[in-house]
């Protein structure tokens, strides 16, 4: 294949990929994602407990993958000695991410819902793969920023504003 033909083919594929992302509503890298994509995602909705809070998310059930057994419950007791923060006291962006986690996505960043290794050993020690990490968008940042929510398999969640240096247990439903 000639270089010109290959360049044309790559250009067409990139255009198609961008079109798919736009239609799917997924932000491009570097964009500041808007997690509130419908009127249902108001700040009141972001702090409310989801209706399916006692079960496993529908997407986790249907995926059959490693997330299939991950509970989406709220009101989990603090299993750590870390300070607590009420979910209602978190930044609005963090409350929106809690709603996405409860729903099982979709997540705006490709690095969301990946295994968090707990290499800093600040969180309670658990087997590899126990914790998942989610980006909390930071207004004004051109990248993912430092804020994250870490979720454990038992439903506990932790917030860090300083990229894993410190954590607070999230007291959901409060």
- Residues labelled as active-site residues: 133, 163
**CA distances (Å), 6 to each of 2, 14, 16, 19, in order?**
6, 12, 15, 20
Contact 72, 148 (CB under 8 A): no
**Backbone phi and psi for residue 143, each to the nearest 5 degrees, phi listed first:** -120, -160
Distance in angstroms (rounded) separating the CA atoms of residues 161 and 154: 22
Distance in angstroms (rounded) separating the CA atoms of residues 135 and 132: 10
Q: Kindly state the DSSP code that residue 162 receives in the 8-state scheme.
A: S
In 3D space, the residue among 99, 104, 105, 155 whose CA is nearest the CA of residue 126 turns out to be 155
């Amino acid at each position: 294949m000639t270089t010109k033909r290959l360049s044309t083919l790559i250009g067409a594929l990139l255009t198609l990929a961008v079109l798919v992302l736009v239609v799917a509503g997924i932000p491009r890298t570097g964009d500041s994602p808007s997690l509130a994509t419908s009127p249902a995602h108001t700040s009141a909705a972001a702090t409310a407990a989801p209706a399916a809070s006692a079960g496993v998310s529908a997407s986790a059930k249907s995926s059959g993958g490693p997330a299939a057994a991950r509970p989406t419950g709220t009101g989990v007791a603090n299993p750590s000695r870390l300070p607590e923060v009420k979910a209602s006291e978190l930044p609005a962006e963090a409350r929106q991410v809690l709603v996405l986690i409860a729903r099982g996505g979709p997540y705006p960043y490709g690095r969301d819902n990946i295994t968090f290794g707990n290499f800093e050993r600040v969180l309670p020690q658990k087997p590899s793969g126990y914790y998942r990490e989610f980006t909390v968008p930071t207004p004004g940042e051109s990248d993912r920023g430092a804020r994250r929510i870490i979720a454990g398999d038992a439903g506990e969640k932790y917030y860090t504003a300083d990229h894993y240096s410190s954590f607070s247990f999230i007291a959901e439903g409060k």
